[in-house]
């Protein structure tokens, strides 16, 4: 952009003081600020400065877009670490009543909140005169299907695939935001005086056998508690780690998915899905970003060309007009 | 005992509201008649609005009458009562802040008023009760009390003058604080009570006065010369007795007290209009959303899926009520469409912005050692919107310092004294003359100057200051007279003062001459001359008369006129105020007769004015013309340039003056209000009186002028501004009496018709001069113009008390800190030392403020449209500061350019930047960007994960992304619009972005123990770790800014194609919001 640095004439000396030399003159201070004469940079945005911007944007965006598009399309569901997601549709995790229905204090291990959950949790606050832990609609509706993946061997035997439960939640959530109630007692003791959410089969301290993945810091639970933005969403369920560099994580073949069906979705016309995906540097497969970049880049470039032409034409015509006048 | 009721106070008034009977001294008129105590209000003056008790409710009530405040109150209440998505604090806190600040400000102002009231109400007065002087507080005066007033005191209430210390029962009064006329007026005691000059005798008076019920018309009632008005001051009279007839809030002054009403600027009106539009949008939106919600909820699994059940309470709520609360909560959710913070910011902008005016060095005046004064900060932007400028002449256009320029004696011209090294000691022929008149005539002329006036001498220190004559200070109601006396002094004749009815004059030989002052025939505007009758030491009785040429010439011998007339006309053309001096010797016999007549007339009960006029008329005949004087009323520095600039800026300048037509006209020529080629249309008594029936003639003239003008400008007024430059210019001159004829002409003949014709004429004229205006008429004119179609913005500028009404009436009132006291500047919205400052005030400050505030407002209406509701607090913090800085510092055009090219002012006239077009543009821009943001992010979230480790993001991330884009876009857009980058702008714009990032980290980086919900925890940091989100943010910011950039390009292209070779290109470049190119 063409910018004219225009340090406005700095404060001139100002007219000399009145000869009377009155000690207290009420003349306003002659400072640059008060006289609105601060030095200023006055960029002038003209066609000449804006047009190149369009071109540059176009030139930058198109390659980026292509790059993204290619990367996104290259994501296959077999190589590298494979991520296993479950998806739900028509499930309004972003409903206002739903989103509020949790007690972060309780989830952070606050003993008082444990026994006296926030009012926001209604109607999942108390059950049979005992406080629910974890309280609220979100926790109550936690996804509880169990997915198991098997590779079908040559002899139709099923080889289970190791699904890693840990490392699916945000680090900060797992280590800071969610905490079990304090104490050294067994978890069951620490949750004493509370009751399980109405829809749950097991209480919260029996979610997993691993002490480090049990109670409020159970990662499945943490993932569920991060409410989705849209009614159709996916949540990370398990990790399938690559064993060695030679073999693909999930080689081509037949697989068998065993679902323990607990979670009802028909009542709200919902659907369940299971997604296996690898991840690139920019996340999962999503053509949107690439296409958007390419489109915007092209439009920008095109606009630049069109405007340049118009600009040029008018400049010429006005010049001639000036001459004729 | 008097048993007489005075009936005439109410005589002759058509609009009689009813009468009241006042018993003098509260004594019943007779024992037989039962004394009925009447209820009148007491003499307390209350100008304050509130008392301690009603302050809170009343002030709150006043404040909530503002649409915006009321609206926010409602929203706040809804938030408190109904279960809403947002916390009540978000709207309650700013509202509370605004209300408190305003209340404190108003409370303080009211406290000041209380103090002022108390000062008046508790002042001591003397009341005659039971033949004794009783000291009382002013507020205790009752109607019917007899009040004693001493010299230089103000009257505590409206009084009927019963008697004064003088034999003839006269007293002198100045009404400067009422109507701005500072000269003394004579009032006369009621004839029957003149003799009652002692406490005892006046207490014995038994009388009843029947008078009108209180009326506010100040001008109608100044006439009765027995009525002394509250607020006027007693002068030159030791003491008077009067009976109170109107007290307290019923006095003329109180009834005329025009509260300084809140002036609202056009911008504020626009804001209110926009608010209403937005309110409508809001209601519609809320209604649609509620409907949609219920449509969506109609499927049971959507309404209450198993995973998200309602509470017992929710289920039990009555459905209609539920629907209503839903509607309300949607309203609250979208309430950010109407920005709370805007009001705070606008107020701040105005308040801080007004400092720039008072800080401006260019407004500083060496003489009075003061700069500009800002009384209201609400009207800064209005300065950029003015259509009509009403200016006072004396003291505003002119310096109001008269200077004796030259005189002419018997046709011989004497130029002003060039050098005066040895001052008064010059004895012989001190006049630098071109050719000399007879020595005797010369001295006669100078004596006339010394005697024929009403100047008072105020000795500085020594009372017997005969020898220190140079130290004398002259005081007079008219600066002309002072100029004349001073002029005479230069030529060796010094007026020393009045002693015991003798006027003392020191002549060129340093001798004191004494003249007995027999009569003063006061100046009045009808005769336009004044005379004195004096008796010389030798016993000759002389009459000296001075007056306007037109008033004097017919009364002197014809042959004398020709010599002098040339000079007078010549002087008048040069813009000097000319006066002719004449004299006459009165034979002793004649004097006897004249004296008798004069006294008779003065004592006359009825029609005194007319009688005196008649006597005066008879006396002032057959005079001998001695000479003429020319006094210059100096134009203010750069007055002409300023007027020209205002003209060029498309403003219509009207001069409203109390001065006589000829002088006013010459001043107008001098300050280039009228050009030499301006065709003048005159509507004055002179032109009208030629005909017998005034109204017919008026009608004729009006229609004739209209025809003429319509021929000239066949197009509508819209093209007028352009037309000015090309067509013949017209100027209109009208005087007070004609104006009142037009405005008040008899009801049946369709005065509206006159008025509309008159207005049509006025609107077509480039300049209008109204002379011989009473103060109230000035205000009338302003009001008339204000109510014109399209309600143009008016600005009044004046310096005297007589301009106050006009200053208060107009949209913007500007006071000149002039010589006629501080009344005008106190009552004005802005006060500047000189007229020339108006130019910069309007063209530069007004323009900039308007552009700034318009942008500010647009920006605010644009900003919050897509606000993620829960982040309001962010919104206030992050994006208010840059716009505030912008709105304070922006100079899209250089100040110097603005002052030098007044045409630029036209561009913003008519509230151009806050019309529907720009408003729609900003709204759609906002809607567009909102869509882009939402759907951009929406599509982004279609994927499994945005992270390289496959983790998922929730709804809070979604919101934060949108919000981040929003903050950046809004701030960058402002950066695009900023034309004037000072370091403050840099600091604030980049600073606020940096602060946003920092704050987001901070806010999300800690588990806040006092918050129930830790929803923002680590979202921002986590968000920034995703490359995709980065890319999206950049992309969306660019997309939302591109329309703005596109517009810039198109604008510059279009401008080039339609370039007007007259206009400089670089200046107009920045007019992106002003040109009509909204697409």
Task: For residue range B73-131, list pLDDT tens digits in order.
Answer: 887 787 777 666 566 666 677 678 778 877 887 788 788 878 877 877 788 888 877 77
Q: Is the pLDDT of residue B647 over 80?
A: no
Interface membership of A66 toward B (CB under 8 Å)? no
Q: How far apart are CA B620 and CA B612, in angstroms?
A: 12
Inter-chain residue contact A315 with B1056, CB threshold 8 Å: yes
Q: How far is CA B253 from CA B136, B213, B1016, in A?
A: 21, 14, 64
Inter-chain residue contact A53 with B1045, CB threshold 8 Å: yes
End-to-end CA distance of chain B: 88
Q: Is B607 exposed, middle or buried (0-12, 13-18, 19+ CB in 10 A)?
A: exposed
Active-site residue among B378, B392, B659, B867? B392
Radius of gyration, CA atoms only, chain B: 37
- Of B336, B956, B79, B294, residue with least CA distance to A99: B956
State the number of CA atoms in the 13 A half-sphere of B546 facing the CB: 22
Inter-chain residue contact A44 with B1069, CB threshold 8 Å: yes
Q: Which residues of chain A lie closer than 8 angstroms to B1018, CB-CB?
A: 170, 172-173, 176-177
Contact A285, B939 (CB under 8 A): no
The question of whether B392 is a catalytic residue gets the answer: yes
pLDDT-derived band at B353 (thresholds 50, 70, 90) equals confident
pLDDT at A58: 83
Give the residue ranges of DSSP H helices in B803-954.
804-809, 823-827, 837-840, 847-862, 872-889, 895-900, 903-908, 916-940
End-to-end CA distance of chain A: 32
Q: Is the pLDDT of residue B26 over 80?
A: no
Residue % of chain B over a pLDDT of 70: 62
Q: Please state which of the ranges A184-188, B467-471, B777-781, B1014-1018 shows the lowest mean pLDDT.
A: B467-471
Summarize pLDDT for B986-1010 with one digit per residue, the tens. Answer: 777 787 788 778 877 777 766 666 5
Summarize pLDDT for A46-71 with one digit per residue, the tens. Answer: 666 777 778 888 888 888 888 888 87
Give me the residue spans of the domains in chain A: 47-75+285-312, 92-231+254-271
Q: Which helix (H) or strand (E) holds B514?
A: strand B512-521
When pLDDT is averaged across residues A295-303 and rounded to a whole number, the result is 85
When pLDDT is averaged across residues A166-192 and rounded to a whole number, the result is 85
Q: Is the pLDDT of residue B828 over 50?
A: yes
Q: How far apart are CA B620 and CA B1031, in angstroms?
A: 97
pLDDT at A22: 38
Q: How far apart are CA B796 and CA A208, in angstroms?
A: 83
pLDDT at B430: 43
Q: How far apart are CA B629 and CA B683, in angstroms?
A: 28
pLDDT-derived band at A289 (thresholds 50, 70, 90) equals confident
Q: How far apart are CA A218 and CA A139, in angstroms?
A: 12
Inter-chain residue contact A288 with B306, CB threshold 8 Å: no
Radius of gyration, CA atoms only, chain A: 32
Q: Which residue has the higher pLDDT, B387 or A238?
A: A238
Q: Which helix (H) or strand (E) holds A234?
A: strand A233-240
Q: Is B556 exposed, middle or buried (0-12, 13-18, 19+ CB in 10 A)?
A: buried
Q: Is the pLDDT of residue B922 over 80?
A: no
pLDDT at B367: 67
Contacts of B554 (CB under 8 A, 6+ apart): none
Of residues A97, A229, A285, nearest to B958 (C-beta): A229
Q: Is the pLDDT of residue B465 over 50?
A: no
pLDDT-derived band at B965 (thresholds 50, 70, 90) equals confident
Q: Is the pLDDT of residue B721 over 60?
A: no
Residues in chain A: 325
Contacts of B38 (CB under 8 A, 6+ apart): B20, B21, B143
Contacts of A230 (CB under 8 A, 6+ apart): A94, B938, B941, B958
Inter-chain residue contact B310 with A123, CB threshold 8 Å: yes
- Of B55, B54, B47, residue with least CA distance to B105: B55
When pLDDT is averaged across residues A2-25 and rounded to a whole number, the result is 38
Q: How far is B931 from chain A (nearest CA, A)?
A: 15
pLDDT at B420: 36
Cβ-count burial A283-310 (b if 16+ within 10 Å, e if not) = bbbbebbbebbbebbebbbebbeebbeb
Most confident of A4-18, A234-248, B1-15, B714-728: A234-248
Q: Which residue has the higher pLDDT, B55 or B263?
A: B55
B546 bridge partner residues: B530, B581
State the number of CA atoms in the 13 A half-sphere of B445 facing the CB: 29
Residue % of chain B over a pLDDT of 90: 0
Q: How far is B977 from chain A (nearest CA, A)?
A: 9
Q: In terms of CA atoms, which chain B residue is nearest residue A125?
A: B311
Summarize pLDDT for B371-409 with one digit per residue, the tens. Answer: 777 776 667 777 777 788 888 776 677 766 677 777 777
Inter-chain residue contact A282 with B1027, CB threshold 8 Å: yes
- Of B524, B508, B449, residue with least CA distance to B480: B449
Q: Which helix (H) or strand (E) holds B967?
A: helix B955-977
Q: How far is CA B577 from CA B85, B402, B403, B517, B562, in A?
A: 75, 9, 10, 27, 19
DSSP annotation string for A76-135:
-SSSSSEEEEEEEES--TT-HHHHH---HHHHTT-HHHHHS--GGGTTSSEETTEEBSS-
Q: Is the pLDDT of residue B1050 over 80?
A: no
pLDDT-derived band at B288 (thresholds 50, 70, 90) equals confident
Preceding peptide of A136 cis, ω within 30°: no
- Of B742, B730, B729, residue with least CA distance to B685: B742
Q: How far apart are CA B854 and CA B909, in angstroms?
A: 12
Inter-chain residue contact B1031 with A64, CB threshold 8 Å: yes
Inter-chain residue contact A118 with B1012, CB threshold 8 Å: yes
Interface membership of B369 toward A (CB under 8 Å)? yes
Q: How far apart are CA B363 and CA B844, in angstroms?
A: 12
pLDDT at B112: 80
Of residues A28, A83, A314, nearest to B950 (C-beta): A83
pLDDT-derived band at B262 (thresholds 50, 70, 90) equals low
Preceding peptide of A134 cis, ω within 30°: yes
pTM, to two decimals: 0.66
When pLDDT is averaged across residues B673-701 and rounded to a whole number, the result is 66
- Of A250, A241, A298, A263, residue with least CA distance to A60: A298
When pLDDT is averaged across residues B724-733 and rounded to a whole number, the result is 63
pLDDT at B1067: 36
Q: Is the pLDDT of residue A136 over 70?
A: yes
pLDDT at B30: 57
Q: Which residues of chain B lie closer than 8 angstroms to A21, CB-CB?
A: none
Q: Calculate the average pLDDT of chain B.
A: 70
Q: Which residue has the higher pLDDT, B17 or A11?
A: B17
Residues in chain B: 1079
Give the residue ranges of DSSP H helices in B298-438.
300-303, 312-316, 319-333, 340-359
pLDDT at B945: 61
- How many Cβ atoms sit within 10 Å of the Cβ of residue B280? 10
Q: How far apart are CA A301 and CA A52, in angstroms?
A: 9
Name residues 246-275 of chain A within 8 A of B (Cβ). 264, 267-269, 275
B529 bridge partner residues: B547
Q: Which residues of chain A lie closer than 8 angstroms to B895, CB-CB?
A: 36-37
Q: Is the pLDDT of residue B578 over 70?
A: yes
Q: Is the four-CA dihedral B568, B570, B571, B577 of positive or negative sign?
A: positive
Interface membership of A228 toward B (CB under 8 Å)? yes
pLDDT at B298: 77
pLDDT at A318: 45
When pLDDT is averaged across residues B554-582 and rounded to a whole number, the result is 76
Q: How far apart are CA B78 and CA A290, in angstroms?
A: 45
- Of B185, B179, B189, B169, residue with least CA distance to B243: B189
Contact A282, B1031 (CB under 8 A): yes
Angle at B914 (CA atoms; ends B1040, B760), nearest 5 degrees: 155
Q: Which residue has the higher pLDDT, A103 or B567?
A: A103
Inter-chain residue contact B369 with A317, CB threshold 8 Å: no
Q: Is the pLDDT of residue B1069 over 60?
A: no
Q: How far is B980 from chain A (nearest CA, A)?
A: 5
Q: Is the four-CA dihedral B175, B176, B178, B180 of positive or negative sign?
A: positive
Name residues 890-929 of chain B within 8 A of A (Cβ). 891, 894-895
Q: Please state which of the ranges A274-278, B184-188, B482-486, B648-652 shows the lowest mean pLDDT.
A: B184-188
Contacts of B57 (CB under 8 A, 6+ apart): none
Q: How far apart are CA B386 and CA B117, in angstroms?
A: 35
Residue % of chain A over a pLDDT of 90: 0
């Amino acid at each position: 952009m063409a910018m004219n640095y225009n340090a406005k004439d700095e404060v001139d000396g100002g007219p000399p003081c009145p000869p009377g030399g009155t000690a207290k003159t009420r003349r306003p201070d002659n400072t640059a600020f008060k006289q609105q004469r601060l030095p200023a940079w006055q960029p002038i945005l003209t066609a000449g400065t804006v047009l190149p911007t369009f071109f540059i944007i176009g030139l930058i965006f198109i390659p980026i877009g292509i790059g993204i598009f290619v990367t996104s399309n290259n994501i296959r569901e077999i190589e590298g670490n494979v991520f296993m997601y479950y998806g739900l549709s028509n499930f309004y995790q972003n409903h206002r009543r739903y989103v509020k229905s949790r007690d972060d204090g309780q989830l952070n291990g606050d003993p008082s909140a444990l026994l006296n959950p926030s009012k926001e949790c209604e109607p999942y606050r108390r059950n049979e005169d005992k406080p629910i832990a974890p309280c609220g609609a979100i926790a109550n509706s936690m996804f509880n299907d169990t997915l198991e993946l098997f590779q079908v061997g040559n002899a139709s035997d099923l080889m289970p695939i190791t699904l890693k439960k840990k490392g699916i939640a945000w680090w900060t959530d797992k280590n800071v935001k969610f905490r079990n109630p304090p104490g050294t007692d067994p978890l069951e003791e620490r949750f004493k005086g509370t009751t399980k959410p109405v829809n749950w089969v097991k209480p919260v301290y029996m979610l997993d056998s691993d002490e480090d993945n049990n109670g409020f810091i159970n990662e499945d639970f943490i993932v569920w508690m991060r409410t989705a933005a849209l009614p159709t969403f996916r949540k990370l369920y398990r990790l399938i780690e690559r064993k060695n560099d030679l073999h693909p994580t999930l080689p081509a073949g037949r697989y068998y998915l065993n679902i323990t069906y607990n979670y009802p979705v028909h009542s709200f016309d919902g659907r369940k899905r299971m997604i296996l995906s690898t991840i690139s540097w920019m996340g999962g497969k999503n053509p949107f970003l690439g296409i958007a970049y390419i489109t915007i880049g092209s439009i920008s470039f095109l606009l630049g060309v069109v405007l340049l032409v118009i600009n040029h034409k008018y400049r010429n015509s006005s010049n001639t007009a000036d001459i004729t006048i | 005992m008097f048993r007489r009721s005075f009936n005439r106070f109410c005589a002759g008034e058509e609009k009689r509201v009813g009468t009241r009977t006042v018993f003098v001294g509260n004594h019943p008129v007779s024992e037989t008649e039962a004394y009925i105590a009447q209820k009148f209000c007491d003499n307390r003056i209350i100008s304050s609005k509130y008392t301690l008790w009603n302050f809170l409710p009343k002030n709150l009530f006043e404040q909530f009458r503002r649409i915006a405040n009321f609206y926010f109150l409602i929203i706040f209440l809804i938030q408190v009562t109904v279960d809403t998505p947002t916390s009540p604090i978000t709207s309650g806190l700013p509202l509370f802040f605004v209300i408190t600040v305003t209340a404190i400000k108003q409370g303080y102002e009211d406290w000041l008023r209380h103090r002022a009231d108390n000062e008046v109400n508790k002042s001591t007065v003397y009341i005659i009760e039971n033949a004794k002087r009783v000291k009382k507080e002013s507020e205790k005066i009752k109607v019917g009390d007899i009040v004693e007033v001493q010299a230089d005191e103000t009257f505590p209430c409206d009084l009927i003058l019963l008697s004064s210390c003088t034999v003839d029962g006269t007293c002198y009064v100045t009404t400067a604080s009422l109507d701005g006329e500072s000269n003394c007026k004579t009032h006369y005691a009621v004839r029957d009570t003149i003799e009652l000059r002692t406490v005892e005798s006046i207490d014995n008076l038994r009388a009843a006065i029947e008078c009108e019920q209180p009326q506010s018309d100040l001008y109608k009632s100044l006439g009765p010369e027995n009525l002394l008005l509250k607020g006027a001051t007693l002068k030159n009279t030791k003491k008077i007795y009067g009976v109170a007839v109107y007290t307290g809030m019923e006095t003329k002054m109180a009834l005329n007290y025009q509260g300084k009403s809140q002036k609202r600027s056009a911008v504020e009106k626009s804001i209110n209009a926009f608010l209403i539009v937005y309110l409508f949008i809001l209601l519609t939106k809320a209604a649609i959303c509620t409907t949609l919600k219920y449509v969506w909820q109609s499927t049971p699994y959507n309404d209450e899926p198993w995973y998200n059940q309602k509470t017992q309470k929710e289920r039990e709520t009555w459905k209609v009520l539920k629907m209503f609360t839903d509607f309300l909560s949607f309203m609250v959710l979208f309430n950010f469409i109407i920005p709370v913070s805007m009001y705070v910011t606008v107020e701040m902008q105005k308040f801080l912005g007004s400092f720039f005016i008072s800080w401006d060095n260019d407004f500083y005046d060496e003489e009075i050692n003061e700069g500009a004064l800002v009384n209201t900060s609400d009207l800064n932007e209005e300065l950029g919107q003015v259509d009509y400028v009403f200016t006072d002449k004396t003291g505003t256009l002119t310096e109001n310092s008269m200077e004796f320029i030259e005189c002419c004696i018997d046709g011989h011209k004497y130029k002003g004294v060039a050098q005066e090294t040895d001052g008064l000691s010059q004895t012989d022929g001190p006049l630098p003359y071109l050719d000399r008149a007879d020595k005797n005539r010369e001295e006669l002329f100078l004596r006339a100057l010394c005697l024929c006036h009403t100047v008072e001498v105020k000795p500085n220190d020594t009372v017997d200051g005969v020898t220190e004559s140079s130290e004398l200070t002259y005081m007079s109601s008219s600066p002309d007279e002072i100029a004349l006396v001073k002029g005479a002094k230069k030529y060796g004749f010094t007026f020393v003062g009045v002693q015991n009815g003798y006027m003392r004059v020191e002549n060129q030989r340093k001798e004191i001459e004494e003249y007995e002052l027999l009569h003063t025939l006061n100046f009045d505007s009808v005769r336009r001359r004044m005379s004195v009758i004096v008796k010389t030491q030798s016993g000759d009785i002389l009459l000296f008369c001075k007056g306007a040429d037109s008033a004097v010439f017919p009364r002197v011998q014809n042959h004398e006129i020709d010599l002098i007339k040339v000079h007078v006309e010549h002087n008048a053309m040069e813009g000097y105020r000319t006066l002719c001096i004449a004299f006459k010797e009165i034979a002793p016999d004649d004097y006897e007769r004249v004296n008798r007549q004069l006294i008779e007339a003065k004592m006359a009960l009825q029609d005194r004015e007319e009688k005196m006029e008649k006597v005066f008329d008879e006396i002032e005949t057959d005079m001998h013309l001695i000479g003429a004087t020319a006094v210059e009323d100096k134009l203010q520095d750069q007055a002409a340039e300023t007027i020209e600039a205002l003209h060029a800026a498309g403003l219509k300048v009207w001069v409203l003056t109390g001065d006589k037509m000829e002088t006013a006209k010459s001043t107008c020529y001098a300050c280039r209000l009228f050009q030499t080629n301006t065709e003048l249309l005159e509507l004055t008594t002179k032109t009208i009186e030629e005909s017998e029936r005034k109204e017919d003639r008026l009608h004729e003239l009006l229609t004739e002028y209209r025809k003429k003008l319509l021929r000239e400008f066949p197009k509508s007024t819209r093209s007028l501004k352009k037309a000015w430059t090309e067509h013949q210019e017209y100027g209109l001159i009208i005087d007070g009496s004609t104006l009142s004829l037009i405005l008040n002409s008899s009801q049946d003949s369709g005065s509206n018709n006159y008025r509309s014709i008159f207005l049509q004429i006025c609107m077509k004229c480039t300049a209008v001069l109204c002379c011989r205006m009473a103060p109230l008429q000035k205000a009338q004119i302003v009001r008339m113009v204000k109510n014109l179609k399209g309600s143009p913005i008016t600005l009044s500028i004046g310096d005297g008390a007589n301009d106050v009404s006009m200053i208060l009436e107009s949209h913007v009132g500007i006071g000149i800190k002039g010589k006629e006291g501080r009344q005008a500047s106190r009552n004005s919205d802005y006060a500047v030392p000189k007229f020339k400052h108006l130019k910069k005030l309007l063209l530069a400050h007004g323009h900039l403020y308007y552009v700034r505030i318009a942008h500010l407002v647009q920006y605010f209406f644009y900003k919050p449209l897509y606000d993620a509701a829960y982040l309001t607090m962010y919104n206030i913090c992050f994006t208010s500061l840059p716009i505030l800085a912008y709105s304070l510092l922006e100079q899209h055009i250089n100040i110097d350019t603005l002052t030098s090219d007044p045409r630029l002012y036209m561009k913003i006239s008519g509230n151009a930047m806050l019309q529907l077009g720009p408003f729609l543009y900003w709204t759609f821009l906002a809607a567009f960007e909102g869509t882009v943001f939402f759907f951009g992010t929406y599509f982004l979230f279609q994927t499994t994960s945005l992270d390289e480790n496959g983790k998922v993001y929730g709804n809070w991330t979604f919101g934060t992304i949108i919000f981040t884009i929003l903050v950046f876009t809004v701030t960058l857009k402002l950066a695009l619009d900023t034309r004037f980058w000072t370091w403050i702008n840099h600091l604030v714009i980049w600073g606020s972005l940096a602060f946003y990032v920092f704050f987001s980290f901070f806010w999300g980086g800690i588990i806040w123990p006092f918050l129930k919900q830790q929803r923002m925890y680590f979202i921002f940091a986590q968000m920034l770790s995703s490359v995709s989100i980065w890319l999206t943010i950049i992309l969306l910011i660019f997309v939302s800014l591109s329309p703005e950039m596109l517009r810039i390009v198109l604008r510059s292209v279009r401008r080039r194609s339609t370039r007007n070779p007259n206009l400089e290109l670089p200046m107009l470049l920045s007019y992106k919001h002003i040109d009509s190119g909204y697409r």
